[in-house]
Amino acid sequence: MHATLVFNPQARSASKFTPEAILEALKQAGYNATYTPTSSEDDLDGVLQQAKDLVVVAGGDGSIRAVGTRLLKRNIPIVPLPLGTANNIARTLSINGNPQEIIAGLADPAERILDIGCVTTPKGPHYFLEAMGIGVFADILEKYNPEDGKSIGRAIQTLLKTLNHYQPKFFHVNVDGQDFSGSYLLFEVMNTPTMGFHYQLAPEAKPDDGLFDLVLIHANQREKYVKFIKSVLTGTLETLPDVSIQKGRKLEIAWRGFPLHLDGVAMAGKEWMGDNVAEVRMEDPELLDVAKPYLQVEIMPEAIHFLVPKSTIAGN
């Protein structure tokens, strides 16, 4: 069986391993493995065109997302070797151990097929495995900018600084035909229980049930930021009185360029719509022309395949 190795040298724990060591482990496990170094995500297009039976991804959540979205509809399973900072996807799949241990566990493999989220924007479709959201987290992520270097300390500093003067925003949102418009501190569309630096926002979310878990923090939570931060860090967000979690498959969000995030990537509307974008403030939502454009957010059931050691899903 042929295995294509994708290795991200920028991943947090990448310095502890080498592509050569992983290739040797794959060879010992009976795989005919190949590796082509890449310097950017765009390089993956050519590498993955040659993929056949299996793609082994040594990296973090961003690497898995970059590979997974390029393998949609190709039915080629991914083996994650978690080397990143949060490793939310590997945690969701209950994958533990170093690369050699995980590869050795493939002697008794199991397939996991997960959903993926698709956001249709004015520039076409974009995808997320963990979460898509608008509101405070998207604004924080835009200011934090992971490309400046990932740091939990800097992330918390950015969060505190942003929250100090943050005002909730009014969003026009439709979920499966039901109006959820209102003023929100945060509106997250969760496919997995966690996102970011392993922030557990939707503990009951299942990435293979064909549904999103929508985490809504209403505007009056503004007065309780200390509780909000503590609940995010301790995984108890759903216990706050101004937080609600709903289920849904399809969303429409009237949009005027406010930041949104797809997994760990922040995207600003001005990148797509030019200088005519006008953000709507919470206090004047009536100024929003809701006719267009809309962000269309849909679940794609059973869209991405993973191969994991069977021992990791025992009892599931």
Which pLDDT score is estimated for 313?
Answer: 60
Same domain, 173 and 287: yes
Which pLDDT score is estimated for 218?
Answer: 83
Which pLDDT score is estimated for 222?
Answer: 52
Structural domain includes residue 312: no
> What integer is the mean pLDDT of 201-207?
92
Same domain, 90 and 128: no
Which pLDDT score is estimated for 284?
Answer: 45
**87 three-state secondary structure:** coil
Same domain, 83 and 103: yes
Provide the percentage of residues in the chain whose pLDDT is more than 70. 84
Pick 133 or 168 by higher pLDDT.
133
- Categorize the per-residue pLDDT at 133 as very low, low, confident or very high, splitting at 50, 70 and 90: very high
Same domain, 67 and 167: no
Which pLDDT score is estimated for 223?
Answer: 53
Which pLDDT score is estimated for 278?
Answer: 43
pLDDT, tens only, 154-178: 877 887 788 777 888 899 999 999 9
Which pLDDT score is estimated for 314?
Answer: 45
pLDDT, tens only, 27-66: 999 999 999 999 889 999 999 998 999 999 999 999 999 9
Same domain, 268 and 140: yes
Which pLDDT score is estimated for 272?
Answer: 52
Residue 45 sits in a domain whose CATH number is: 3.40.50.10330
In the predicted model, is pLDDT for residue 78 greater than 90? yes
Structural domain includes residue 81: yes
Same domain, 157 and 285: yes
By residue range, what is the domain housing residue 200? 119-301
pLDDT, tens only, 250-278: 999 988 778 899 998 888 765 555 444 44
Same domain, 101 and 145: no
Same domain, 55 and 98: yes
